Amino acid sequence: MLKLNKNIAISDTGYVFDPSIGESYTLNPIGLEIVELLKANKTDNEIKSIILERYDVDDATFERYYIDFTGMLKNYQLAKDE
Amino acid sequence: MEKLKFERPFIKKITTGLPAKFGMKNRIEVVNNIDGLPVEELMNDYGSPVFVISERTLRQTISEARLAFSTRYPLVQFAWSYKTNYLDAVCRVFHQEGSWAEVVSIFEYKKALQNGVPGAQIIFNGPDKSAEDLELAINNNSLIHIDHFDELYMLAELSKKTQKKSKVAIRVNMDTGIYPQWDRFGFNYENGEAWEALNRILLNQHLDLVGLHTHIGTYITSPSAYRTAASKLANLVVEIRNKYNHAIQYIDMGGGFASQNTLRGSYLQGYDAAPSFDEYADAISSALINSAIRPDSLPLLILETGRALVDNAGYLLTSVLANKRLADGRRATIIDAGVNILFTSFWYDHTISPTRFDNDHTEETTIYGPLCMNIDCIRPAIVLPLLKKGDRLVVQRVGAYNMTQWLQFITMRPNIVLIDTHGKTHLIRKGETVETIKQQEQLPKHLE
């Protein structure tokens, strides 16, 4: 399960700050929503159900972009698999 | 409850640093129509990828160029550079606008004849003209621009044999202060080679020296180089008059004017770096008018510019095939148009525009073509909106050289569509099929 680093600061507008390395990032609204769900310790499947419920997207399309997005969170060392 | 519109989730690192010299932010220009026709509609009708040429832009551009030169010099003639784009429809637009034809092979020469250009209005350039080609050109009274001594002697012999005087010019290469100096075509000015050729022509009763030609290079962003070239040719005109009492009828300044495309590695954007037609016209015209040529015998000024006349009129419409991440996390986008049909992407950073831009989020991506070859990279880095499979992109300023230098490699060459001045579309070159390629092949019996 993907876990966000605990010290990450996230604003309501999608601004992300990683105090451990001093880098900042910006999220689009759906990216922010997913990050908040990760922060709330939701599993991948729970996140998928919530997004599919709210957004006009099919299962396969969401999964493709979700893998890409979480890959970037890991690439920026903002999250890791536990 | 109606569901929300889905957008790909996205995170971007905020990078801070010195702004660009001009403090410019990345500009994303949306192009969703060409001459009023929706890109989506054009692609639905003619497929993806597809080249689109705007007849309106072709005519506007040649009008601008004509105006720039004709308001500064009394005798101006454009000759359409076939190699830049020899689609018949494109050539005929320029011929309708009064351009002669400038060709560099017998293939292009025959195309010009078939496009209705009178032989006497075809300029035959290039290093490869066979005896048969030259005979045809002599009989048609075409303007033959001699490239080397072997050609000069062959032409003299043919003219003697046919008892018909050839109308000739020599191509002169020279130092105009720019690098690289093109010296592989024609005869050199500085080392006296040009005079060696001129003396031989002027003393030969079968050759009629009607013009002087130069072509100093390609994508020349320095109008002063043309000023130097025009001055040197003007000197030759005067010296030929003094020595042989022979009047040169025309000076052909060749082409090489830059288009508004951005050269790869250039700091300035193409539309800032490329001089206007007015700047080129000013440099050339003032050099000729200020020369020692007598005002009552100014030669005709011929211009063979190709790229600057046609580049802006061409568009390549393409679709996103896939998105992926490279090993270091960089975004990569694969589109259905590769370097085989967009040859100029080897030296230009083409402007690639999305057809829509729904929010403020952008990301840097590398654009790859569809070929299974590592060289197939259209833009190493470009900032675009978040793209997904099926999104449409418009590559701008692709009218020059792509539709002549393109390769049938791995994929077929696509449809080319012309939008006329009334906004009506015309298919001017059919996309290739497997059959198009196969019909040129032959199987030996034992492999059937």
Phi/psi at A23 (5° precision): -90, 150
* Domain identity same for B345 and B399: yes
**ipTM here:** 0.94
The count of CB pairs under 8 A between chains A and B is: 69
The pLDDT confidence band at residue A60, using thresholds 50, 70 and 90, is: very high
**Number of C-alpha atoms within 13 angstroms, CB side, residue B26?**
15
Report pTM.
Answer: 0.91
Residue keyed to tokens 């080129």:
B280
pLDDT over 60 (residue B23): no
Q: Is residue B443 part of a domain?
A: no
pLDDT tens digits, one per residue of B58-87 = 999 999 999 999 999 999 999 999 999 999
> Distances in Å between the alpha carbon of B375 and those of B346, B372, B378, B380?
9, 9, 9, 11
Contact B408, B340 (CB under 8 A): yes
Q: Do B386 and A16 touch (CB under 8 A)?
A: no
> Which one of A11, A55, A65, A73 makes the best mutation probe of the B interface by having the most chain B beta carbons within 10 Å?
A65
Q: Is residue B274 part of a domain?
A: yes
Nearest to B14 among A25, A65, A71 (CB): A25
Tell me what the mean pLDDT of segment A8-21 comes to. Answer: 93
The pLDDT confidence band at residue B403, using thresholds 50, 70 and 90, is: very high
Q: Do B9 and A30 touch (CB under 8 A)?
A: yes
- Specify the higher pLDDT residue, B265 or A60: A60
Q: What is the pLDDT of residue B2?
A: 85
CA proximity to B169, closest of B98, B236, B257, B82: B236
Structure tokens at B353: 């525009």
Domain of residue B390: give its range: 33-52+313-434
Residue keyed to tokens 């001089």:
B275
* Domain identity same for B197 and B144: yes
Contact B140, B122 (CB under 8 A): yes
Q: Mean of the per-residue pLDDT values for chain B?
A: 94
Boundaries of every domain in chain A: 2-81
The pLDDT confidence band at residue B18, using thresholds 50, 70 and 90, is: low
Using the Cβ of A30 and the Cβ atoms of chain B, whether some distance falls under 8 Å is answered with yes
Which pairing describes strands B122-124 and B100-103: parallel, antiparallel, or unpaired? Answer: parallel
Tell me what the mean pLDDT of segment B115-133 comes to. Answer: 97
* Domain identity same for B260 and B378: no
Cα gap B212→B237, rounded to integer Å:
8
Looking at chain B from residue 13 to 42, which residues have their Cβ under 8 Å from any Cβ of chain A?
Answer: 13-14
* Domain identity same for B263 and B371: no
Which pairing describes strands B76-81 and B100-103: parallel, antiparallel, or unpaired? Answer: parallel
Sign of the torsion angle spanned by Cα atoms B390, B393, B395, B399: positive
The pLDDT confidence band at residue B297, using thresholds 50, 70 and 90, is: very high
Looking at chain B from residue 343 to 402, which residues have their Cβ under 8 Å from any Cβ of chain A?
Answer: 359, 361, 386, 388
pLDDT tens digits, one per residue of B226-277 = 999 999 999 999 999 999 999 999 999 999 999 999 998 888 888 888 999 9
Region for B313 from its dihedrals, namely left if φ exceeds 0, alpha if ψ lies in -120 to 50, beta otherwise = alpha
Tell me what the mean pLDDT of segment B358-373 comes to. Answer: 89
Using the Cβ of A23 and the Cβ atoms of chain B, whether some distance falls under 8 Å is answered with yes
Cα gap B30→B28, rounded to integer Å:
6
* Domain identity same for B301 and B198: yes
pLDDT over 90 (residue B283): yes
Counted domains in chain B: 2
Q: Is residue B151 part of a domain?
A: yes
pLDDT tens digits, one per residue of B27-66 = 788 999 999 999 999 999 999 999 999 999 999 999 999 9
Contacts of B384 (CB under 8 A, 6+ apart): B28, B333, B352, B354, B362, B363, B365, B393
Q: What is the pLDDT of residue B17?
A: 65
Q: Is residue B285 part of a domain?
A: yes
* Domain identity same for B317 and B307: no
Tell me what the mean pLDDT of segment A24-29 comes to. Answer: 93
pLDDT tens digits, one per residue of B315-346 = 999 999 999 888 888 899 999 999 999 999 99
Structure tokens at B75: 């005798």
pLDDT over 90 (residue B360): no
* Domain identity same for B79 and B69: yes
Cα gap B274→B308, rounded to integer Å:
9
pLDDT over 70 (residue B20): no
Is the peptide bond prior to B385 cis by the omega test (within 30 degrees of 0)?
A: no
The DSSP output letter for B263 is B
Q: Is residue B441 part of a domain?
A: no
Alpha-carbon gap: A26 to the closest alpha carbon of chain B (Å): 5
Using the Cβ of A38 and the Cβ atoms of chain B, whether some distance falls under 8 Å is answered with no
Contact B348, B264 (CB under 8 A): yes
Q: What is the pLDDT of residue B139?
A: 95
* Domain identity same for B135 and B167: yes
Cα gap B226→B218, rounded to integer Å:
12
pLDDT over 60 (residue B396): yes
CATH number at residue B366: 2.40.37.10
Cα gap B303→B246, rounded to integer Å:
23
The pLDDT confidence band at residue B285, using thresholds 50, 70 and 90, is: very high
Nearest to A31 among B4, B11, B329 (CB): B11
Q: What is the pLDDT of residue B290?
A: 96
Query: Could you tell me what percent of chain B has a pLDDT over 90?
Result: 83
Q: What is the pLDDT of residue B386?
A: 86
Q: What is the pLDDT of residue B19?
A: 61
CATH number at residue B242: 3.20.20.10
Structure tokens at B247: 């009047």
Nearest to B10 among A24, A31, A75 (CB): A31
* Domain identity same for B99 and B163: yes
Tell me what the mean pLDDT of segment B407-431 comes to. Answer: 97
* Domain identity same for B38 and B139: no
A2-81 domain in CATH 3.30.70?
no
Nearest to A30 among B7, B325, B329 (CB): B7
Using the Cβ of A62 and the Cβ atoms of chain B, whether some distance falls under 8 Å is answered with yes
Final residue belonging to a domain, choices B293, B311, B329 = B311
Contact B315, B54 (CB under 8 A): yes
Cα gap B374→B366, rounded to integer Å:
13
Q: Which residue of B has its CA nearest to A64?
A: B8
* Domain identity same for B352 and B307: no
Classified as helix, coil or strand, B411 is coil
Alpha helices in B263-339 (DSSP H): 270-273, 277-289, 307-310
Q: Do B4 and A28 touch (CB under 8 A)?
A: no
Structure tokens at B379: 């833009």
Final residue belonging to a domain, choices B296, B311, B326 = B311
**Angle, vertex CA B413, rays to CA B425 and CA B128, nearest 5:** 105
Final residue belonging to a domain, choices B254, B277, B311 = B311
pLDDT tens digits, one per residue of B171-229 = 999 999 988 888 889 999 999 999 999 999 999 999 999 999 999 988 999 999 999 99
Structure tokens at A31: 């990216």
Q: What is the pLDDT of residue B25?
A: 57
* Domain identity same for B44 and B106: no
Residue keyed to tokens 């009607």:
B210
